[in-house]
């Protein structure tokens, strides 16, 4: 039973973000197809984000206390995969904008249960599970970006990529719905209500928002930035995203051991400072190959920042820790969604390059903010 719960949370940290990863490499194509600018595309991301924030709150307050976590994840994944197909293949801007709202709603039904279930499993087993949980998220981005990048290089149309991806994810979710409904007893979360987060959650939540804002910028804008600034192909842009995601995944799979042997301070604080300084240096060099390598180094040393942040939240001296995890998760994705549209607005007027330079600077600020909370 424990094994099924662990793998369910990992699978559903992977599947929705995999579909999202297939889309990221195709963003330049979508912007061109619908004749969007950075600002108009930012409205899409913002709509998705607002919907997801609403869904996370509804999930925390209504759905998880009633149905538990494991039964919600595959249902949310199935609904997201169906909507994803219609959303990404839309041929009119207003349809693309309209369908971004249910896409955000259904995505928001998957993430909170997966995070809460991982927190519960850490408590029950005494193991460090958050790094591997987030490794599957990063693996989803990586596999999605590589899939799209490869098939685009073979002149396969993005619509075909989205159709096949949605079908595979949808069928997987149907199988897992059957397995979880008949094999797992739902464990509801404690009842809660709509309220402001506990004061103790504000700092880790704000740091999580900043961290995920930078992830969102890398995922949503880096391919477009590389295509416009350096004139690289979609395949090369996908490879550079791979450099970031690939090393991040390696660090997350090693996360439990790294944290056990070196402690949070060495892995998170000093690793982050090194990764940021490397990225800044390579951005200044203005060499696309060095930038790709720097994204890889940055991905490795930044990887365990957010998992440790979630563990810090779990150590807070407050009554409802599951509520705290949900609040930090909400603020994390708030940053993930709000950050890229803000960058879009800024990039429209001042250029995306200046925004990319801001990424490592934001991470350095986050590293110093989290420093007093680190253990070991």
Tokens 């096949």 found at: 164
| Residue 96 CB-density burial (10 A; 0-12 exposed, 13-18 middle, 19+ buried) | buried
- d(Cα 208, Cα 293) in Å, to the nearest integer? 25
pLDDT(333) > 80: no
Q: What angle do CA 161, 217, 196 make, to 5 degrees?
A: 110
Global pTM exceeds 0.85: no
Q: Which residue has the higher pLDDT, 160 or 178?
A: 160
Instruction: Supply the CATH number for residue 273's domain.
Output: 1.20.1250.20
Distance from C-alpha of 280 to C-alpha of 275, rounded to nearest angstrom: 9
Domain containing residue 168? 2-373
Q: Which of 159, 346, 106, 150 is closest to 241 using CA atoms?
A: 150
Judged against a pLDDT cut of 90, whether residue 197 lies above it is answered with no
Say how far apart CA 260 and CA 209 lie, in whole Å.
26
- Residue 48 and residue 41: Cα distance in Å, rounded? 11
Residue 132 sits at φ, ψ, to 5 deg, of -70, -35
The length of the chain is: 376
Question: What does the pLDDT average to over 138-145?
Answer: 82
Number of domains the chain is built from: 1
Residues 26-36 have pLDDT tens digits of 888 888 888 88
Tokens 């990048």 correspond to 149
């Amino acid at each position: 039973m424990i094994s099924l719960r662990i793998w369910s949370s990992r699978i559903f940290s992977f599947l929705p973000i995999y579909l999202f990863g297939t889309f990221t490499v195709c963003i330049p194509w979508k912007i061109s197809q619908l004749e969007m600018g950075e600002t108009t595309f930012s409205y899409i991301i913002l709509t998705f984000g607002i919907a997801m924030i609403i869904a996370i709150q509804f999930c925390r307050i209504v759905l998880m206390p009633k149905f538990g976590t494991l039964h919600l994840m595959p249902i949310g994944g199935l609904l997201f995969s169906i909507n994803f197909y219609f959303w990404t293949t839309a041929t009119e801007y207003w349809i693309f904008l309209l369908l971004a709202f249910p896409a955000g709603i259904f995505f928001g039904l998957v993430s909170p249960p997966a995070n809460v279930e991982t927190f519960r499993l850490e408590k029950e087993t005494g193991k460090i599970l958050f790094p591997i949980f987030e490794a599957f998220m990063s693996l989803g981005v990586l596999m999605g970006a590589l899939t799209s990048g490869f098939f685009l290089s073979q002149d396969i149309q993005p619509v075909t990529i989205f159709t096949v991806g949605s079908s595979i994810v949808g069928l997987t979710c149907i199988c897992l719905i059957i397995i979880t409904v008949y094999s797992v007893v739902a464990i509801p979360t404690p009842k809660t209500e709509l309220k402001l987060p506990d004061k103790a959650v504000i700092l880790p939540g704000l740091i999580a928002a900043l961290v995920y804002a930078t992830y969102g910028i890398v995922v949503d804008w880096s391919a477009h930035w590389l295509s416009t600034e350096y004139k690289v192909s979609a395949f090369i842009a996908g490879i550079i995203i791979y450099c970031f995601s690939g090393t991040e995944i390696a660090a997350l799979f090693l996360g439990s051991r790294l944290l056990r042997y070196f402690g949070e301070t060495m892995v998170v604080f000093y690793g982050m400072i090194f990764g940021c300084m490397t990225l800044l240096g390579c951005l200044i060099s203005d060499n696309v190959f060095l930038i790709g390598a720097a994204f890889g180094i940055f991905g490795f040393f930044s990887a365990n920042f957010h998992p440790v942040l979630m563990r810090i939240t779990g150590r807070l001296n407050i009554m409802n820790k599951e509520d705290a995890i949900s609040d930090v998760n909400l603020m994390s994705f708030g940053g993930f969604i709000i950050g890229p549209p803000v960058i879009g607005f800024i990039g429209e007027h001042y250029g995306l390059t200046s925004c990319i330079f801001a990424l490592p600077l934001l991470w350095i600020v986050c590293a110093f903010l989290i420093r007093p909370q680190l253990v070991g």
